[in-house]
Amino acid sequence: MNPLALALFAAGLLTAATAAAQADLIVTNGKIATMAAEGEFVQALAVKDGKIAAAGSNERVLRLRQKDTRVVDVGGRTVIPGLNDSHTHVIRAGLNYNMEVRWDGVRSLKRAMEMLKEQAARTPEGQWVKVVGGWSEHQFAEKRLPTLAEINAAVPDRPVFILYLYGKAFLNRKGIETLGYTRQTKYLDGELELDAAGKPTGLLLAKPNAMILYSTLARTNKLDRADQRNSTLHFYRDLNRLGMTSAVDAGGGGQAYPDDYGVTLELAKEGKLTVRTAYYLFAQKGGKELEDYERWIRMTKPNRNDHLFYANGFTTEGAGENLVSSAADFENFLEPRPDLPHHMEDELERVVTLLVTNRWPFRIHATYGESIERDLAVIEKVNRSTPLAGLRWIVDHAETVTDEQLKRIKALGGGVAVQNRMYFQGEAYRARYGAQTRQLPPIRKMLELGLPVGLGTDGTRVSSYGPWPSIYWAVTGKTAGGLSTWQAKDVLSRHEALQLMTRGSAWMSGEEDVKGRLVVGQYADFAVLPQDYFTMDVEKIKDLESLLTVVNGQVVYGAGQFETLSPALPAVSPAWSPVTRFGGYQNR
């Protein structure tokens, strides 16, 4: 090839390469936390085909601008990778969001009760008024729970169900009447409180697990299919408002596969989900878990996209967090630690063997070290005959896991998903077990050992779905009521906490190499914050939300000066939905 031809050929390659690199979206004038290293910030980002194409100075990144490139000047604001909840229940929450009064973040019991009364006035006859978890009395200025008398006075003519963590629930008189509860109503695991005359008071107590609460909630009304679609869209938008772009769904009681996944899958196929959702399959019937997993293994397989939404938008990840109900030790610190039944090991071994043989990742709910000890013995036994050999598996919660158990989890290639349940229940734990010198859960020790750790919420029932209280808890060790429960040496830096709810959580779905950092080649999922997370008053972290949220390079939420960029949503349905009046998480 002659020199002129060579020069023209090289110029052609350069032009083609430049065209290929030109950006769909450029963000400028930011304090952009790459999260590749602590303290590493850049000024601008370029996005191409849903991934980060460049990161650096305004001058460098703007070279990739073309005629159709959208350029967003964020005015010096902090930009972070999109938050990723390592353990939550977004699919179930989406189906129910539009019919629930959310007390998440509400500052006073007075306001909470006003919300209840206001919603009852708008609720049609035959429908329930429901508050389904996500709150604690310690967040209220009054530092107390509502009384049944107050609930009955606020709402005398509509049935009311109020779930308090997984410890208790309240029914008003109309709710008792609607359900037909009497002194003869019995639950194997739970207690219906009776008054001196032998009539139900409306207080339901989980003893020791939450079956009475699950079962009662299941008897209240549900949204129809069209409203469930609408509800899911609006719930995911509220997650985007809080800066969330990914979630790992851990299943949950009353969330049967595949029936209760249909709405979310339908929306995913239409490209309408705005949070990348990886999900685990949760067995529903005690004693029938093995049959469920045998059937699901024939139906689907892990790491398979069920649609063409994004790169990994709605994906089966594996089994859990309920592998077998006999292994579950519910986190009800209002009651003593439950002892797992003697037949647990045999049931768990059968399920774990099946999963490992078929190379299914799994996760297991375990609150107490005593339960983890028995779980680990089973997993180690299976590993000796059917090696895990790098199969991803997760211990969920692990509040009182021991150092020795953490070493055994690491030796088996496991990770730990931790949540801010102690943010809501730290006072209850202290009242039962006394002040602790050990961090619960021991996140600092997990990090020192090099274990994969993801941070999350366990929303939306036992905890709120708001991610920022979880991050606040990680950097302060404080509960919602302001109780300091950790020693100073154990609290996390702001970088560490954010890393655990970005790349750390991505490990839980096998995506740590493609999300959680704002560097070239990673998913273009990020949030622009109204205040600088890294330097702001620590007490205000729990109230953060996003001004602009981007998923896969597309704007999914905008507020303030970016509101015009926010995609339109259909009006909330049904028209009487609490969401039309109160919205979702109350951080304003």
Please report, for the domain that includes residue 111, its CATH number: 3.10.310.70
What's the whole-number average pLDDT of the chain?
Answer: 93
Q: Tell whether 274 and 353 lie within a shared domain.
A: yes
Q: Tell whether 164 and 233 lie within a shared domain.
A: no
Residue 332: per-residue pLDDT: 87
> Would residue 348 count as lying in a domain?
yes
The residue-averaged pLDDT of 413-441 equals 96
List, in order, residues 6 or more apart from 222 with CB less than 8 Å away.
95, 96, 99, 228
Rounded CA gap, 223 and 272, in Å? 19
pLDDT for 8 beyond 70:
no
pLDDT for 10 beyond 70:
no
Rounded CA gap, 228 and 266, in Å? 11
Q: Tell whether 270 and 361 lie within a shared domain.
A: yes
| Structural domain ending residue among the three candidates 198, 221, 244 | 221
Q: Tell whether 191 and 310 lie within a shared domain.
A: no
Q: Identify the DSSP state of 84.
A: E
- Taking the CB of residue 345, how many other CB atoms lie within 10 A of it? 18
Q: Tell whether 280 and 145 lie within a shared domain.
A: no
The residue-averaged pLDDT of 98-111 equals 98
Contact 239, 366 (CB under 8 A): no
Q: Which domain holds residue 469?
A: 226-512
Q: Tell whether 63 and 49 lie within a shared domain.
A: yes
The residue-averaged pLDDT of 162-184 equals 97
> Would residue 400 count as lying in a domain?
yes
Q: Tell whether 165 and 232 lie within a shared domain.
A: no
Bridge partner list, 42: 32
Q: Tell whether 29 and 171 lie within a shared domain.
A: no
Residue 21: per-residue pLDDT: 67
Q: Tell whether 283 and 364 lie within a shared domain.
A: yes
Task: Report the CATH number that the domain containing residue 472 is assigned in CATH.
Answer: 3.20.20.140
pLDDT digits (tens, 9 = 90+) for 530-567: 999 999 999 999 999 999 999 999 999 999 999 999 99
The residue-averaged pLDDT of 13-41 equals 80
Residue 511: per-residue pLDDT: 93
Counting the structural domains of the chain, the total is: 3
166 vs 72: which has the higher pLDDT: 72
Token pair, residue 70, equals 């959208």
Q: Tell whether 55 and 200 lie within a shared domain.
A: no
Q: Tell whether 411 and 455 lie within a shared domain.
A: yes
pLDDT digits (tens, 9 = 90+) for 302-340: 876 543 333 335 788 899 999 999 998 988 899 999 999
Task: Report the CATH number that the domain containing residue 54 is assigned in CATH.
Answer: 2.30.40.10
| Structural domain ending residue among the three candidates 512, 538, 563 | 512
pLDDT for 158 beyond 60:
yes
| Structural domain ending residue among the three candidates 221, 241, 276 | 221
Q: Tell whether 262 and 298 lie within a shared domain.
A: yes
pTM of the model: 0.95
pLDDT digits (tens, 9 = 90+) for 252-285: 999 999 999 999 999 988 999 999 999 999 999 9
> Would residue 557 count as lying in a domain?
no
